Amino acid sequence: MQLRTITSVIAGLAAAGSLAAFVSVAPPGVQAAPAAAADPLIAVIPPGQVEYYATAEGLVDGIPVPPKRLATTFDRPVHIMKRLVSQAEYTECVQAEACRPLDRSQRGNVSPDLPVVGVSWHDATRYARWYSAKTGRLYRLPTYAEWVHAAGDAYTEELRVDIYDPDNPAQRWLAEYALETQRKLSADAAPKPFGHFGTNAAGVQDIGGNVWEWTDTCHVRQYLDADGNAVLPPNENCGVRVVAGSHYSLITDFIRDPKGGACSVGIPPANLGIRLVLDPES
């Protein structure tokens, strides 16, 4: 088949919204261009290393212990949306019958300048599939490590409660309660226009704002001995996902309203939204 014919077939598939099923195979001797090269909505985060607290829950004899400090190295750039998915963009997916309509309290919110909120992990995943089919490129939710790497200098991990007395676990619970009460006093749940919470050096907006972002990282529980060594294989629960924001939280994947959803670290997030990563080689 001639290159001109192949090009016309691909263009037809893209127009029909079915290019997602078309794997990234270029004709012999033709090198595909990077998918994110000219996309103004994508920030390209250079390779590098990022350090952060582990989101895994460590237990020694059933008592929580301080989280480990992790370092993750990225050998390739991370391509991530500069802003969150907007209300108007999510509405387009609903109109295409590829996304579930928002709950009644969120319906009618179709601004192109405000982030969509009130979405579950399943909603976010459905949107990523639809958007991939629409654009002909593979989009997905980020891992927590990718999100922290993309956040860069705009993200500072919030103060953690590091009281872990095995003889008196109530001390930590009381300290967390006091910290959460302070957070609630300064919380503003109304979604703000894009850019309200600033833009980092890479062009990523609103990191650590009042919308927490779904990731693909699952909740993990680790059983450790007194020296911090694993005594059993990690217990991974992918029915609960990490959401990233000014403090990370653990939310059940079908929850849309974070106030009703199994938040085990910090206060419940004000809102749940979507920011996608692009896999440019797919």
The residue-averaged pLDDT of 55-82 equals 87
User: Is 196 in contact with 209 (CB distance < 8 Å)?
Assistant: yes
Q: Which of 173 and 97 is assigned the larger pLDDT?
A: 97
DSSP 249: E
**CB-neighbour burial class of residue 172 (10 A; exposed 0-12, middle 13-18, buried 19+):** middle
Identify the three-state secondary structure at position 42: strand
Q: What is the pTM of this model?
A: 0.76
pLDDT tens, position by position, 153-190? 877 765 454 444 555 555 555 455 445 544 444 456 88
What are the residue ranges spanned by the domains of the chain?
A: 1-32, 36-279
User: Is 195 in contact with 114 (CB distance < 8 Å)?
Assistant: no
User: Is 132 in contact with 138 (CB distance < 8 Å)?
Assistant: yes
The residue-averaged pLDDT of 63-80 equals 89
Does domain 36-279 fall under CATH 3.40.630? My reply is: no
pLDDT tens, position by position, 211-250? 999 999 999 988 878 877 778 887 899 999 999 988 888 8
Q: Is the pLDDT of residue 197 over 80?
A: yes
- What is the average pLDDT score of the chain? 78
